Amino acid sequence: MITRNLGFKMSGNAIKKLKEKDVENLFDSPNLVLMAKNSLSAIDFLKQIIRGIEKEVMSQVKLRKEFKMLLIIPGIGPILTLTIMLEVGTINRFEAVGDYSSYSRCVKSERLTNGKKKGENNKKNGNKYLAWAYVEAANFAIRHSVAAQRFYQRKKAQRNGIVAIKALSNKICRASYYIMRDQVPFDEGLLFK
């Protein structure tokens, strides 16, 4: 609405900080002011609902020992850790890190023979919620980790932003596997060599 009517962009965080007075000063039309106020009310209402859901979930589900160490990975917070824990079950069911990455949909599903593509496997195999969780973690890691941001920028320069996010999500997924399996602390230096 802001871009369409005012001709400039505003970040989501800036929009969330707007007050009713700010909205009245932004738009000339009373109809646009009304719509903007309604949008802000909806954002505030949804924030309260989300906080309530998170509080209820956190009161009912406790992190198991092997998943608590995921909290130190940049980009993974309590809700993503719970999502990963509930979707993985037990990490020991994955024999290798590649199996876990594949199950988490963090790698391509293609068949290669002698370096040549011979087909694709089922892209829907794996767990879509883990795929979502690791992509979310990658997006947050870019904001909170300089090393993750450098890795993302390097990959983005080589290909594009989507491939770069998936590559970062795969790195985080692989690190998570070893942290859960071996109970070792996260080491950003090892992850972004």
Q: Exposed/middle/buried for 3, CB within 10 Å: 0-12, 13-18, 19+?
A: exposed
At 16 the pLDDT is: 84
| Residues paired with residue 117 on neighbouring β-strands, in sequence order | 112
Contact 137, 169 (CB under 8 A): yes
Task: Give the largest CA-CA distance in the chain.
Answer: 66
At 187 the pLDDT is: 83
What does each of the 193 residues of the chain score in pLDDT, given as a tens digit? 888 888 888 888 888 888 888 888 888 899 999 999 999 999 999 999 999 999 999 899 988 888 888 998 988 999 999 999 999 988 999 999 988 998 898 887 666 666 666 656 656 678 899 999 999 999 999 998 899 999 999 999 998 999 999 999 999 999 999 999 998 888 887 777 6
Q: Which amino acid does the sequence have at 73?
A: I
Residue 53: CA atoms inside 13 Å, Cβ hemisphere, count? 7
At 34 the pLDDT is: 93
What 151-155 contacts at long range (C-beta under 8 Å, 24+ apart), as own/partner pairs, is 151/192
The vertex-165 CA angle with 44 and 14, nearest 5°, equals 30
At 115 the pLDDT is: 67
Q: Which amino acid does the sequence have at 163?
A: V
| Residues paired with residue 43 on neighbouring β-strands, in sequence order | none
At 13 the pLDDT is: 83
